[in-house]
C-alpha cells in the first residue's frame, strides 16, 4: 500500500511540474484585444462605445420633458414605429404602453405627448 501511495505522489508531482502554466511560459501573456475577435454587430457596438456613444441601442430610460403638444418628449428610433411605455404617475404601479409612428405625435392617457425622431442605425 505504501508503495502504491508513493508511486501516485511521484506521478502527480511530475504532472504538476510538466503541466503547470507558469512552467510552460503562458503565465505572462494576456488576452488579446476584444476588437481583434469581434465581428458583426458586436464590433459595431464596441466601435460605438469607443467613439463615446454609451447607449448604441437606445436602451436607456428617457425622462419625460414638458410633454406638451407644441414640445413633445422626443423618442429616437431607427424604424418607422416604436412602442413606448409611460409611467403616468410617480407612484403608479402600472405602465401605459403606446405605439409611436413617424410624423404623428401621440398623447398618453396622462396627458404627456411623445414624438418619434429619426436616428441613424448602427
Is 5 part of any known ligand binding site?
no
Q: What is the DSSP letter of 115?
A: E
The answer to the question of whether 86 is labelled as a binding residue is yes
The C-alpha R_g of the chain, in whole angstroms, comes to: 29
Does 78 count as an annotated binding residue?
A: no
Binding residues for Zn(2+): 86, 88, 108, 110
Which residue numbers belong to the known binding site? 86, 88, 108, 110
Amino acid at each position: 500500500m505504501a508503495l502504491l501511495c508513493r508511486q501516485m505522489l511521484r506521478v502527480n508531482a511530475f504532472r504538476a511540474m510538466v503541466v503547470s502554466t507558469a512552467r510552460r511560459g503562458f503565465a505572462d501573456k494576456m488576452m488579446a484585444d476584444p476588437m481583434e475577435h469581434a465581428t458583426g454587430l458586436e464590433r459595431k457596438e464596441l466601435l460605438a462605445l469607443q467613439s463615446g456613444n454609451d447607449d448604441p441601442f437606445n436602451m436607456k430610460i428617457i425622462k419625460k420633458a414638458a410633454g406638451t403638444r407644441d414640445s413633445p418628449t422626443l423618442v429616437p428610433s431607427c424604424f418607422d414605429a416604436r412602442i413606448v411605455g409611460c409611467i403616468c404617475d410617480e407612484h403608479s404601479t402600472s405602465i401605459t404602453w403606446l405605439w409611436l409612428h413617424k410624423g404623428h405625435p401621440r398623447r398618453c392617457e396622462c396627458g404627456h405627448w411623445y414624438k418619434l425622431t429619426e436616428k441613424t442605425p448602427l
